[in-house]
A and B are shown apart, each in its own frame.
Chain A
Amino acid sequence: MEIEKSGKEEVVLKLKGRLDTVSAPKLENEIDELQCKSLVLDLQELEYTSSAGLRIFLKASKKLNGNIRIINISDEVRVIINMTGFDKILGI
């Protein structure tokens, strides 16, 4: 998985590829190091997320007191988010 980072006050992380157990720690490190007030996760090019990825989204949401937006969710990923109930949990 690739992560493209931009912005300062509001950081945009563009995720590309597959977010699974193997790649999740990379995103987790990125989130841990964030110093911003709000975060946008752009999932346009994210093909897949496992529960490991959803947990990182949740972690980011807690860290930023809910100041997180998840945008451009692909159909494949939306199915997973809806199935696990994370649409309600993350307010998508």
Chain B
Amino acid sequence: MGLTLSSLENLINTVAILALFSVVIYGAKSFDKFTKNKKIRILIGSLVGGLFGIYAQHNGVNFVDSTVTVRDVGPMIAGVLGGPICGLFAGLIAGIYRFYVGFSSILDSSIFPIGGTTILCSFATVFIGILSGVFRDRVNKDTKNRKWYALILVILLELFHLFVVFVFYIITTKDFGFSFKYILDIAPSFLLSNAIAMFIIILIFDMLNKYKNAEVKEVVNETELSTAAKIQTSMLPQNIGDLGETFRFSLFADMCPSKKVGGDFYDFFYVDKNNLCIIVGDTSDKGVGSALFSVKVKQMLKDYINIESSLDSAITKVNKELIKDNFQLMFVTLFAGIINLQTGKLTYINAGHCPPIYYDGELKTLDKLSGPALGVVEANYISFYEKLSVNSNLVIYTDGVTDAVNKDNEQYGIDRFKKYVRANKNSTSKTFVKKALDEIKEFGPEQVDDVTILELRYKGRK
């Protein structure tokens, strides 16, 4: 055995440092930005590959008259990742350095065969860089198995390198036995160290790529989510002029999703000229799935409430429809009410939703339940009534309000919210809602649930 274990260890240490070097350079986010331009990419690839070769050469292990190094791996990686030109330049840098280091041996006549392997090895490095570039398509074709193809490539190229050296020795020494022994001594460590170097570094590049792709995917997802969020917001009624009238009531609603899109929704529309329908719902879970479900439910509610003769039958039928094909087992808690704007009579259904707060000089909650959350079991939903006083406040909200938690794991809770209602009962509907959302956000900045608030001030003028 030509080389000792400690020499091999020395080579592996070199590989480790080079690997670390690759991680730092290639892993840096600015690397991608900087290398968008193809020419710059080739330039950087060549430089890094070349410097890699120089460093490896510098840290090689001396053996007989040559140095066993992983120098070739620099240009090889440059070739595999950057193409033949990149491989050529990296090879030239590393090759020229190899030539410079071994130059004295060419002049030194005591070294036999003449010039040792200086000239050969310098050229081999350049060729290996180019050849790696030529075979890069084959290596990169199958990204999953790229490391194995790179391993085969490095072994083949280094066998080629050894073969050329072998032939050179036979020609110059005319001693087959000596040449064969020399190659046999050097080959195992040479092949093994280069193979390990190449394999590890490609493996690291693959891992970095995976990580980078995941980041890109996240950015794409973010963009798609933003679009979805915009669509969702556009589907919730905008509080334009509070439905064009301010004398019979004022109303404002807003939803603040915990993720970009939420499962909460609200709606308000006229059933006829004197009856206003208001809806606040909360679909189980958050995110895209529940947002889509919410869209469906919101549309169904509007359709059925407009068609059916009563709120009871509308909600009962929507529930029946939702149970069909509900494989995802989503459900919706819902408050739906119809206010007769002439009389102030509120007819409402509460399907598993948190009870609204009502203030008319006295604060109370509308805590009657009509039935379970929608979408799970068949049920007959029965409506209740409440006579709204003039200048009363009706606040419908989702559990994101009361369930908001601060860093001490303390809930915002119903009592705080009631206090807020009392203190802000005279604000405009818009200020009431916006300020409440701000207060809740301030209380629990790490929002885990969607927060929706709808406030209606019944004014009773005709």
Contacts and interface: CB of A to CB of B under 8 A. Distances in A.
A54 interface: yes
Interface stretch (A8-16, A37-45, A65-73, A80-88): A80-88
B285 A58 contact: no
A3 interface: no
A50 B285 CA distance: 8
B245 to A, nearest CB: 34
B282 A51 contact: yes
Interface in B362-383: 369, 371-373, 376-377, 379
Nearest to B259: A21
Q: DSSP class of B's interface residues: helix, strand, loop or mixed?
A: loop
A83 B405 CA distance: 20
Interface of A: 18, 20-22, 24, 48, 50-52, 54-55, 58-59, 62, 80, 83-86, 88-89
A88 B329 contact: no
Considering residues A20, A21, A88, which has the most beta carbons from chain B within 10 angstroms of its beta carbon?
A21
5 contacts: A22-B448, A58-B329, A84-B331, A86-B373, A88-B372
B284 A54 contact: yes
Contacts of A86: 352, 372-373
Given A20-B448, A84-B372, A85-B369, 13 more contacts: A21-B286, A24-B285, A50-B449, A51-B284, A51-B331, A54-B284, A54-B373, A55-B285, A55-B329, A58-B376, A62-B329, A83-B355, A85-B352
A85 B371 contact: yes
B232 interface: no
Given A84-B333, A85-B351, A89-B372, A55 B284 contact: yes
B403 interface: yes
B330 A55 contact: yes
A86 B377 CA distance: 10
Considering residues B282, B352, B379, B411, which has the most beta carbons from chain A within 10 angstroms of its beta carbon?
B352
B115 to A, nearest CB: 66
Contact of A21 (B352, B411, B449): B449
B373 A85 contact: yes
B406 to A, nearest CB: 13
Contacts of A88: 372, 377
A20 B449 contact: yes
B352 A84 contact: yes
Contacts of B352: 83-86
B47 to A, nearest CB: 46
B399 interface: yes
A21 B403 CA distance: 12
Contacts of A22: 448
Contact of B372 (A20, A59, A85): A85
Contact of B331 (A20, A24, A58, A80): A58
Interface string B281-323: 0111110000000000000000000000000000000000000
Interface string B402-424: 01010001010000000000000
Considering residues A55, A62, A89, which has the most beta carbons from chain B within 10 angstroms of its beta carbon?
A55
Given A22-B448, A84-B372, A52 B377 contact: no
B258 interface: yes
A48 B422 CA distance: 27
A50 B401 CA distance: 12
Given A83-B354, A85-B351, A51 B399 contact: yes
A32 to B, nearest CB: 13
A48 B283 CA distance: 18
Considering residues A18, A51, A54, which has the most beta carbons from chain B within 10 angstroms of its beta carbon?
A51
A52 B284 contact: yes
A58 B208 CA distance: 41
Contact of B403 (A48, A59, A83, A89): A48
B443 to A, nearest CB: 16
B364 to A, nearest CB: 16
A88 to B, nearest CB: 6
A62 B377 CA distance: 12
Contacts of B405: 18
Contacts of B379: 85
